[in-house]
Amino acid sequence: MTTQTSTATVDEAVRAATRAQDDVAGAPYETRATWLEALADALDANADELVALADTETHLGPQRLTGELARTSAQLRLFAGVVREGAFLEVTIDHDTPTATPPIPDLRRMLVPLGPVAVFAASNFPFAFSVLGGDTASALAAGCPVIVKAHGGHRGLSRRVAEIAVSALADAGAPSGILALVEGREQGVELVSHPDVRAVGFTGSVGGGRFLFDLAVQRPEPIPFYGELGSVNPVVVTPGAAAQSLDDVAQGLAGSFTMGVGQFCTKPGVVLAPAGTGLAEALGALVPAEAKPLLNDRIGDGFRGRLGELATHDGVEVVAGDATSDDRAEASPVVLRTTVADVLAAPEVLLEEVFGPATLIVEYADLEEVSAALAAVPGSLTATLHAAPGEEAAAGLLADLRRVSGRVLYGGWPTGVAVSHAQHHGGPYPATTSVHTSVGTTAIRRWLRPVAYQTTPDDLLPPELREANPLGLPRRVDGVLESSGS
């Protein structure tokens, strides 16, 4: 049975978050950090129950889900550390300098929370991009209450995680209203439209994300919409790499594009390889014929529709796999092949994401064709180069790949996104709708805005900006970076 949250309940959740905002933002940073750790501890304590429930709804398997839950609790603890350190506030002080041109008054700037934010859970990561995923963790770390829109693909899990989370937060002394869950497509629209919601985080399809993005920016008071939408994640295999390590490339690619039944946002969907090297055939020989369960029928319909469009397009050949199946529940890997000329003739068809276990090998005659093809690739989360050591073309190709993506890999494969300080998970549109990452510690920046105080008496300043630095925060003072407490 489908359960939807009533509009009144959506309004109640947002109003409760609004009432909680001052208490959440004003809590000591140590207290805020302990809330995040309480959530992490609660996830870990209920891991067996939650993994079993997630598996019944997503078919992702206990091993994958156990690892994902551990990642989710780890990123909550990582953000607790970010809050304790305090550098995320970007405290900056310029003392009064009347001799400067023009004169500089006493200016003190920091970042402050936006207010209640809406988070839309993703289908393919029921823990790491869901109720207590990275968007929620970073928003709570920033001092923003969160209203999560549950994904229909794992409603039961979302409800249970929300129950556990709300209880853990209450036991940790967090204010009522700091976290809530709503359900239903219409309720998601209401959430984005609610005048008290100050920003939105979204992970999902281009169509759904673009609809909500347009809604967010067309409000009487537009708000930021941080959407992760679609990505083909191009890979370039140079002539040198094809000559020296074709088998290794084929094996790595086979593992990457079939991981999670191809339902990763970082799946390599377009691979540029030299014509005549046999990469498509080598890859086709490695992929299994066994079909595996997809997340849900809706994703199955989308996969079959896009795969059929791609496989029947002029100039595209199916090298391995069944591109004609109408099974909505399961899918087996499909390898396709085409040329740069065909891609350039119809990039809107051949370079659109296929969310599922399929990849398109695009064969090129020379590196000029590679550059031409990359110029047509839409913005992506990742781009990967496989080159031989010392290959002269590598530097130029890396520059081409940087123009179309937010994370450039030299060697390796893009599936799997580390949660760390240096990580960037974003890219030019349609990969994302902003320049900010949704993974890693700088994801917190999405939920903050700068405020500067000018010539304000010290006793009226927030503690973060006072001259004596009573909170021991890292700061930049008169252009010089100071570590905590210095």
Among residues 57, 183, 265, 369, which one is catalytic? 265
Active site residue 144: no
Active site residue 363: no
HEC string for the chain: CCCCCCHHHHHHHHHHHHHHHHHHHHCCHHHHHHHHHHHHHHHHHCHHHHHHHHHHHHCCCHHHHHHHHHHHHHHHHHHHHHHHHCHHHCCEEECCECCCCCCECCEEEEEEECCCEEEECCCCCCCCCCCCCHHHHHHHHHCCCEEEECCHHHHHHHHHHHHHHHHHHHHCCCCCCCEEEECCHHHHHHHHHCCCCCEEEEECCHHHHHHHHHHHHCCCCCCCEEEECCCCCCEEECHHHHHHHHHHHHHHHHHHHHHHHHCCCCCCCEEEEECCCCHHHHHHHHCCCCCEECCCHHHHHHHHHHHHHHHCCCCCEEEECCCCCCCCCEECCEEEEEEHHHHHHCHHHHCCCCCCCEEEEEEECCHHHHHHHHHHCCCEEEEEEECCCCCCCHHHHHHHHHHHEEEEEECCCCCCCCCCCCCCCCCCCCCECCCCCCCCHHHHHHHEEEEEEECCCHHHCCHHHCCCCCCCCCEEECCEEECCCC
Q: At 354, which amino acid appears?
A: V
CB 218 within 8 A of CB 463: no
Across the beta sheet with 475-477, the strand order is 448-454, 107-113, 92-94, 475-477, 480-482
Among residues 183, 190, 228, 352, which one is catalytic? 228
**Whole-number Cα distances in Å, 227 to 68, 114, 248, 345:** 21, 17, 34, 29
Show which residues are catalytic: 228, 265
